[in-house]
């Protein structure tokens, strides 16, 4: 083997009562590669990321991330990755600078490096002039940019990006992808990303897996997927593989559990 797998997933399954969000999926990500995990809304992408990042316990199956099991040694796993969540996760009462600084402290970055990187990143996402403003005064795009900058602060071994560029303009997207690619090349950071922008995935990803209805339906390089489906773009390949139906976003895990609990209670009465 030329390089080692930094993420190894076997037969991973997550069910919420009767609903199977992730259904016996297996895949691996090599150290240093940019891996795109694609799929329609509600296919099981975020549930998978939540399990990889210790936020959810798998129903069954095995995950090895940077040599560690997220269920048995969550702390070791948490030292190995950084994440930009799909949903906002900033403290809106704090300033942009405080959000960055506290993140740095949580990840044990020394003050010198913290100060230097925060300035560098806030300038890249063009929020340096607004660093002393509370985040609640920011627009949606500004919050998103801050969130990405924060995720890039601690230079982890593996970086999870869950639809990082959603709602950003092309200029910002291009800047951010350049920075991420730079991080991938200079520090060998493994990137695990999901996105709905197929041209982004095609441009940056070394390998792609497409998940639908909780199952991985195809894996390969962008070129392999295009050849396999006889299409000229990744977007074409994606639609050929997952169909043309529009998916409703499944309610998130919490809402699902709550809904089911309500139904359960009603039946009991």
Return the residues of window 86-125 that contact other proteins according to CB under 8 A: 87-94, 98, 102-103, 105-108
* Backbone dihedral region for residue 133 (phi beyond 0: left; psi -120 to 50: alpha; all else: beta): beta
Which CB, 55 or 166, lies closer to other proteins?
55
Q: What whole-number distance in Å separates Cα of residue 227 and Cα of residue 186? A: 31
Residues 202 and 28 sit within 8 Å (Cβ to Cβ): no
Give least dist CB 112 to other proteins, A: 15
Which CB, 66 or 242, lies closer to other proteins?
66
The alpha helices in the chain, defined as continuous H runs, are 45-52, 74-78, 96-106, 111-124, 140-151, 170-187, 198-204, 222-229, 234-242, 253-268
Give least dist CB 91 to other proteins, A: 5
Which CB, 13 or 231, lies closer to other proteins?
13
Which CB, 245 or 249, lies closer to other proteins?
249
Instruction: Measure Cα distances from 23 to 31, 62, 82, 183, 215 in Å.
Output: 25, 13, 25, 32, 5
Query: Which stretch, 75-83, 176-184, 210-218, 231-239, contacts other proteins (CB under 8 A)?
Result: 75-83
Q: Which of 24, 62, 78, 173 binds other proteins (CB under 8 A)?
A: 78
Q: What whole-number distance in Å separates Cα of residue 36 and Cα of residue 51? A: 17
Which CB, 23 or 98, lies closer to other proteins?
98
Q: What whole-number distance in Å separates Cα of residue 237 and Cα of residue 164? A: 22
Beta bridge partners of residue 28, listed in sequence order: 8
Return the residues of window 215-244 that contact other proteins according to CB under 8 A: none
Task: Tell me, residue by residue from 27 to 66, as one string, x for binding to other proteins by CB under 8 A and - for no binding.
Answer: -----------------------x--xxxxx---------
Instruction: Give the dihedral of Cα atoms 254, 191, 82, 179; nearest 10 deg.
Output: -120
**Site residues, other proteins (CB under 8 A):** 50, 53-57, 75, 78-79, 81, 83, 85, 87-94, 98, 102-103, 105-108, 134, 253-254, 258
């Amino acid at each position: 083997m030329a390089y080692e797998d930094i993420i190894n997933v076997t037969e991973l399954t997550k069910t919420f009562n009767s609903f199977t969000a992730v259904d016996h999926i297996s895949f691996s990500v090599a150290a240093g590669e940019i891996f795109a995990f694609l799929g329609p809304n509600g296919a099981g992408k975020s549930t998978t990321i939540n399990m990889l990042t210790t936020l959810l316990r798998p129903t069954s199956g095995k995950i090895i991330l940077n040599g560690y099991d997220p269920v048995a040694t969550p702390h070791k796993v948490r030292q190995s990755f950084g994440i930009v969540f799909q949903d906002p996760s900033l403290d809106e009462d704090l300033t942009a600078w405080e959000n960055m600084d506290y993140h740095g402290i949580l990840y044990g970055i020394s003050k010198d490096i913290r100060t230097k990187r925060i300035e560098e990143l806030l300038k890249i996402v063009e929020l340096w002039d607004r660093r002393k403003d509370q985040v609640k005064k920011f627009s949606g795009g500004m919050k998103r940019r801050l969130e990405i900058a924060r995720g890039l602060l601690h230079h982890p071994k593996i970086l999870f990006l869950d639809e990082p560029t959603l709602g950003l303009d092309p200029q910002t997207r291009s800047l951010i992808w350049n920075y991420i690619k730079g991080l991938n090349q200079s520090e060998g950071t493994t990137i695990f990303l999901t996105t709905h922008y197929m041209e982004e995935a095609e441009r940056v990803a070394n390998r792609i897996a497409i998940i639908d209805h909780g199952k991985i339906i195809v894996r390969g390089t962008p070129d392999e997927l295009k050849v396999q489906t006889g299409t000229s773009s990744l977007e074409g390949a994606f639609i050929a593989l997952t169909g043309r139906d529009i998916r409703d976003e499944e309610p998130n895990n919490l809402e699902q559990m709550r809904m089911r609990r309500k139904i359960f209670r009603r039946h009991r009465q």
